[in-house]
Amino acid sequence: MVITAKNGASGNGSIVNKVVATSPSEIPLPEKYVNLGLTTGYNPVAAEDLRLYVTGLTGEGKTTFLRSIPDSWCLDFENAANAVPGARGAYFNIHSIARKLKRDSYSVYRDIITNLIEDGKNGRCPCKRIIFDTHDEWVGFEARALATEKMVEHIGEYGREGHGWSLVHARCQKVLGDLEGAGYTWAVVGHLTYVNETDPITKSQVTRIRPLLAKGSVGPIVRKAELHITIYASTTNEKVEQEHQVSGKVIKSKIDKEVTRYHIYTRPTEAKTMEGKRRGVPTLPAKIEVPLVGGWDVLKAAYEKAVQESRGIV
Which range is least confidently modeled, 30-44, 75-89, 141-155, 248-262? Answer: 248-262
Among 1-10, 247-256, 265-274, the range of highest mean pLDDT: 247-256
What's residue 210's pLDDT? 78
Amino acid at 282: P
Of 230 and 1, which is predicted with more confidence?
A: 230
pLDDT exceeds 50 at position 1: no
| pLDDT digit string, tens, across residues 217-234 | 888 888 899 999 999 988
Percentage, residues of the chain above pLDDT 90:
49
| pLDDT digit string, tens, across residues 17-63 | 544 454 555 678 899 999 998 988 888 899 999 999 999 888 888 99
Mean pLDDT of 148-177: 92
pLDDT exceeds 70 at position 8: no
pLDDT exceeds 90 at position 179: yes
What's residue 13's pLDDT? 53
| pLDDT digit string, tens, across residues 90-145 | 999 999 999 999 999 999 999 999 999 999 999 999 999 999 998 999 999 999 99
- Beta strands (DSSP E) in the chain are 2-9, 15-21, 52-56, 72-76, 90-93, 129-133, 185-198, 205-211, 227-246, 249-265, 277-278, 287-290
What's residue 270's pLDDT? 32
State the Cα–Cα distance between residues 34 and 28, nearest whole angstrom: 10
pLDDT exceeds 80 at position 64: yes
Annotated domain spans of the chain: 1-41, 45-229+268-290
pLDDT exceeds 90 at position 214: no
| Domain with residues 45-229+268-290, CATH architecture | 3-Layer(aba) Sandwich (3.40)
pLDDT exceeds 80 at position 77: yes
Helix residue ranges per DSSP H, 150-244: 163-181, 215-224
Q: Which of 288, 290, 262, 265 is nearest to 277 (CA)?
A: 265
State the Cα–Cα distance between residues 135 and 189, nearest whole angstrom: 5
pLDDT exceeds 90 at position 240: no
Whether the CB-CB separation of 129 and 70 falls below 8 Å is answered with no
Mean pLDDT of 192-216: 79
Of 4 and 295, which is predicted with more confidence?
A: 295
Backbone angles phi, psi at 10, to 5 degrees: -85, 180
pLDDT exceeds 60 at position 294: yes
